[in-house]
Amino acid sequence: MDHFNYQNGELYAEQVPVATIAGQHGTPCYIYSRATLERHWQAFDQALGDHPHLICYAVKANANLAVLNLFARLGSGFDIVSQGELERVLAAGGDPAKVVFSGVGKRADEMRRALEVGIHCFNVESESELRRLNQIAAELNLSAPVSLRVNPDVDARTHPYISTGLKENKFGIGIDEAQDVYTRAADLAHITIVGIDCHIGSQLTETEPFLDALRRVLLLVDQLEQDGIPIEHLDLGGGLGIRYHEETPPEPGDYAAALRELLADRPQTILLEPGRAIAGNAGILVTQIEYLKPTPDKNFAIVDAAMNDLMRPALYNAWQEIIPVNTEPHGDPRYYDVVGPVCETGDFLGKDRALSVAEGDLLAVRSSGAYGFSMSSNYNTRPRAAEIMVDGDQIHVVRERESLAGLYAGEATLP
Ligand code: LLP
For residue 157, what pLDDT band results from cuts at 50, 70 and 90? confident
CA of 143 to the centre of ligand 1 (A): 28
Which residues, at least 6 apart from 110, have a Cβ–Cβ distance to it below 8 Å? 82, 83, 86, 101
Q: For residues 169 and 188, what is the distance between their CA atoms, to the nearest angstrom?
A: 27
pLDDT of 11: 98
Ligand 1 within 6 A of CB of 201: no
Ligand 1 within 6 A of CB of 85: no
DSSP state of 256: H
Ligand 1 within 6 A of CB of 277: yes
Ligand 1 pocket: which of 202, 276, 349, 376 to mutate (most atoms <8 Å of CB)? Answer: 202
Which residues, at least 6 apart from 415, have a Cβ–Cβ distance to it below 8 Å? none
Q: Which amino acid is at 337?
A: D
Is residue 163 over pLDDT 90?
Answer: no
Q: Is 275 annotated as a binding residue?
A: yes
pLDDT digits (tens, 9 = 90+) for 44-80: 999 999 999 999 999 999 999 999 999 999 999 999 9
Q: For residues 279 and 49, what is the distance between their CA atoms, to the nearest angstrom?
A: 21
> Which of 215, 143, 208 shows the shortest CA–CA distance to 196?
215
Nearest atom of ligand 1 to the alpha carbon of 274? 13
Is residue 158 over pLDDT 80?
Answer: no
CA of 334 to the centre of ligand 1 (A): 35
Q: For residues 71 and 65, what is the distance between their CA atoms, to the nearest angstrom?
A: 10
Q: For residues 362 and 29, what is the distance between their CA atoms, to the nearest angstrom?
A: 11
Q: How far is CA 143 from CA 57, 192, 334, 361, in A?
A: 25, 6, 63, 58
Q: How far is CA 91 from CA 35, 78, 179, 307, in A?
A: 22, 13, 37, 29
Q: How far is CA 37 from CA 141, 147, 276, 370, in A?
A: 39, 28, 11, 11
CA of 164 to the centre of ligand 1 (A): 9
Q: For residues 76 and 59, what is the distance between their CA atoms, to the nearest angstrom?
A: 11
Q: How far is CA 375 from CA 259, 308, 368, in A?
A: 30, 8, 11
- Nearest-CA residue for ligand 1 atom 19 is 162
Is residue 293 over pLDDT 90?
Answer: yes
Catalytic residue among 56, 121, 198, 343: 343
Beta strands in 59-184 (DSSP E): 77-80, 99-101, 121-124, 144-151, 173-174
What residues are paired with 53 via a beta bridge? 270
Is residue 156 over pLDDT 90?
Answer: no
Ligand 1 within 6 A of CB of 58: yes
DSSP 294-307: E-SS-EEEEES--T
Nearest atom of ligand 1 to the alpha carbon of 375? 16
Ligand 1 within 6 A of CB of 27: no
pLDDT digits (tens, 9 = 90+) for 103-121: 999 999 999 999 999 999 9
Going along the chain from its start, the domains and CATH numbers come out as 4-32+280-407 (2.40.37.10), 34-278 (3.20.20.10)
Handedness of CA 366, 367, 369, 373 (dihedral sign): negative
- Apex CA 1: angle with CA 78 and CA 258, to 5°? 60
- Nearest-CA residue for ligand 1 atom 8 is 238
pLDDT digits (tens, 9 = 90+) for 196-254: 999 999 999 999 999 999 999 999 999 999 999 999 999 999 999 999 999 999 999 99
Q: How far is CA 84 from CA 81, 106, 277, in A?
A: 8, 12, 22
> Which of 341, 336, 337, 278 shows the shortest CA–CA distance to 309?
341
State the CB neighbour count (10 A cutoff) for residue 380: 14
Ligand 1 within 6 A of CB of 202: yes
Q: Are 172 and 151 in contact (CB under 8 A)?
A: yes
Is residue 168 over pLDDT 80?
Answer: no
pTM recorded for the entire structure = 0.97
- Apex CA 82: angle with CA 79 and CA 84, to 5°? 105
Q: Are 101 and 86 in contact (CB under 8 A)?
A: yes
Ligand 1 within 6 A of CB of 237: yes
Q: For residues 47 and 286, what is the distance between their CA atoms, to the nearest angstrom?
A: 32
| Average pLDDT of every residue of the chain | 96
Is residue 161 over pLDDT 80?
Answer: no
DSSP state of 59: G
**Mean pLDDT of the 290-317 span:** 97
The verdict on whether 343 is a catalytic residue reads yes
The runs of H, that is alpha helices, within 7-76 are 18-25, 34-47, 65-73
CA of 238 to the centre of ligand 1 (A): 7
Number of H helices, E strands in the chain: 12, 21
CA of 275 to the centre of ligand 1 (A): 6
Q: For residues 403 and 329, what is the distance between their CA atoms, to the nearest angstrom?
A: 35
